[in-house]
Chain A
Amino acid sequence: MIELKNVTYTYNKNEPSARVALNGVSLTLDDGDFLGLIGHTGSGKSTLTQIVAGLLPPPEGSVSVDGRDYADYKTAARELRKKVGLVFQYPEHQLFEETVYRDIAFGPKNQKLTEDEIDGRVREAARRVNIGGDLLDKSPFDLSGGQKRRVAIAGVVAMKPEVLILDEPTAGLDPEGRDELLSMLEELHGDWCKTVILVSHSMEDIARTVKTAAVMNNGRLVMNGPVEDIFSRGDELRSMGLNTPQISRIVDGLIAAGLPLSRRIFTVGAAADEIEKIVRGGR
């Protein structure tokens, strides 16, 4: 469990260009959570994920890890770095090794595992991101864009982090690649990584993948709860530069036209179920 209390983070502190990126954010991340994190560009999502991953200089406020309070963030950050794996945006830009195998093995090697353990981790991580064994000896630069993305993610997955954070992992992928990646995350969650945070600009991806979501706006955490609750607040989301999935907007329109639908619908399948029920029920 990771708990942030009243965390504030300022870039270029004490300089004229100082900019508050996080402003009094409190967030509890329980073991087993699968959290969606949304917010406009510059809302503070990336800063928040980097603080959770222990990658920034100390913020103001307190951070506790597994119920233990740390007097200073530096000590907490050491724990966080062991626990949390962060996949940056466009992670494939960071591939660098001669072979796929060596690229995935880079992280586990730094964890001082035995050769056998490293080998096991590499193969397991590759399997989990659907990278076939025949690709392990290839150069990562000979792979397709979608494969490169998955190899880069495998590099973090192979470290078996308790908490896996992915920043816009589907950006630039085609619909099939996106579907494959999202189902891969569903399978990793709870089994290989206890906790997963998905940062995304796609409301459709959030709606179908996670149960709970947090919304950032101008450095503040403004909503945090079940996805149904969040997407039922469409007007507020739009005022923050976000939106609801297209299907929720259709459902809103149908409700306005007098159909007795629930506002808590945010996938096409659920909408079809409810509409079918109304029609067949003759209501």
Chain B
Amino acid sequence: MIKAENLSFSYEADGAEVKVFENLNIEIEDGEFVAVLGHNGSGKSTFAKHLNAILLPKSGRVTVCGIDTADESRLLELRKNVGMVFQNPDNQIVATVVEEDVAFGLENLGVPRDEMRRRVDEALKTVRMYDYRKHAPHLLSGGQKQRVAIAGILAMEPRCIVLDEPTAMLDPIGRDEVMETIRRLNREKGITIVLITHYMDEAVKAGRCVVMDKGRIVMDDSPANIFPKVEEMRALGLDVPQATELVWELKRRGLDVETGALRSAGAIEAIVKMCGKIK
């Protein structure tokens, strides 16, 4: 479980204190898939960096899997349990062969050789990159590189993975590959997922969306309850999926259509139903 209690963080710029957030409270249960949304500067990346002690609270407390992130004696244990994936895959690859890259974290932990082999193979199979285990990472596509980065984290057998805009640099197929992998880890392995994203069609796939604005949590609900609030989302500098926007726009023009669709199929169904009524 992830728990932030009265979490505050600030930094200094030009001699003045800039508050990123103040008294932030949130709980995320084991096995949840949470998307964190918010415009640039809303505090979401700073929040994510608190989850595995890249940043420490100025005041308040963050506990993850029962570990207080400020407890230095348990830092290694914390980082084994909470893995992070960042935006740029090229900054996260360290070795010249895929399987060595995946084994990198384990080597540093002194995991026995047989155990290491087993974990690396399993991680690569999970992200569907096992066939590429002998390849050079720099020749892979962006989506493949991100999946290798995820495998490196999986090999540590974490309970939680935090992804900070993992698809921002990927082409459409790479984005789909990474999103599919994330969903599978959550559903099949029960790994808690915290996904920071600017893509609303990705947030729709989460079980819960947390919207941040000026360091505060302004919405915390299911995608089905958040995205139909098109005007509120826009006022927060955010988007909604095109499926949601289309039915909302038709309704706004006075047409008798059911709103709330999040995906293409839902929008198609609602519009076909409306047209059926007219005929």
Given contacts A241-B174, A250-B267, contact A168 B238 (CB under 8 A): no
Nearest CB of chain B from residue A29's CB, rounded to whole Å: 23
Contact with A along B119-162 (1 / 0, CB 8 A): 00000000000000000000001110000000000000000000
A272 lies within 8 A of chain B by Cβ: yes
Q: Is the CB of A254 within 8 A of B268?
A: yes
A37 lies within 8 A of chain B by Cβ: no
Q: Is the CB of A276 within 8 A of B253?
A: yes
Contact with A along B238-279 (1 / 0, CB 8 A): 110111011001100101000000001101100110110010
B207 lies within 8 A of chain A by Cβ: no
Contact residue among B39, B168, B250 (Cβ-Cβ distance under 8 Å from A275): B250
Instruction: Give Cα A275 to B271, complex, Å.
Output: 8
Q: Which residues of the other chain, B, contact A241 by a CB distance below 8 angstroms?
A: 141, 171-174
Q: Is the CB of B238 within 8 A of A254?
A: no
A247 lies within 8 A of chain B by Cβ: yes
Q: Which residues of the other chain, A, contact B275 by a CB distance below 8 angstroms?
A: 259, 278-279
Closest to B272 in A: A257
Q: Is the CB of A175 within 8 A of B239?
A: yes
Instruction: Give Cα A176 to B142, complex, Å.
Output: 25
Q: Is the CB of A279 within 8 A of B268?
A: no
Chain B, interface residues (CB within 8 Å), range: 35 or more
Q: Which residues of the other chain, A, contact B268 by a CB distance below 8 angstroms?
A: 250, 253-254, 257
Chain A, interface residues (CB within 8 Å), range: 35 or more
Q: Is the CB of A40 within 8 A of B264?
A: no
Instruction: Give Cα A177 to B267, complex, Å.
Output: 27
B36 lies within 8 A of chain A by Cβ: no
A268 lies within 8 A of chain B by Cβ: yes
Contact residue among B165, B172, B175, B264 (Cβ-Cβ distance under 8 Å from A250): B264
Q: Is the CB of A41 within 8 A of B264?
A: no
Nearest CB of chain B from residue A115's CB, rounded to whole Å: 29
Instruction: Give Cα A89 to B246, complex, Å.
Output: 31
Given contacts A144-B40, A146-B40, A276-B250, contact A201 B170 (CB under 8 A): yes
Nearest CB of chain A from residue B267's CB, rounded to whole Å: 5
Nearest CB of chain B from residue A129's CB, rounded to whole Å: 16
Q: Is the CB of A203 within 8 A of B172?
A: yes
Nearest CB of chain B from residue A48's CB, rounded to whole Å: 15
Q: Is the CB of A246 within 8 A of B241?
A: yes
Instruction: Give Cα A104 to B99, complex, Å.
Output: 43
Contact with B along A134-155 (1 / 0, CB 8 A): 0000000010111000000000
Instruction: Give Cα A144 to B268, complex, Å.
Output: 39
**A to B CB contacts below 8 Å, 7 in the list:** A145-B41, A146-B40, A172-B87, A174-B38, A242-B172, A250-B242, A272-B249
For the complex of A and B, the 7 pairs showing the least CB-CB separation, nearest first, are A241-B173, A176-B237, A253-B268, A175-B239, A174-B39, A246-B242, A243-B172
- A residues with a Cβ closer than 8 A to B are 39-42, 89-90, 142, 144-146, 168, 171-178, 201, 203-204, 241-243, 245-247, 249-250, 253-254, 257-259, 268-269, 271-272, 275-276, 278-279, 282
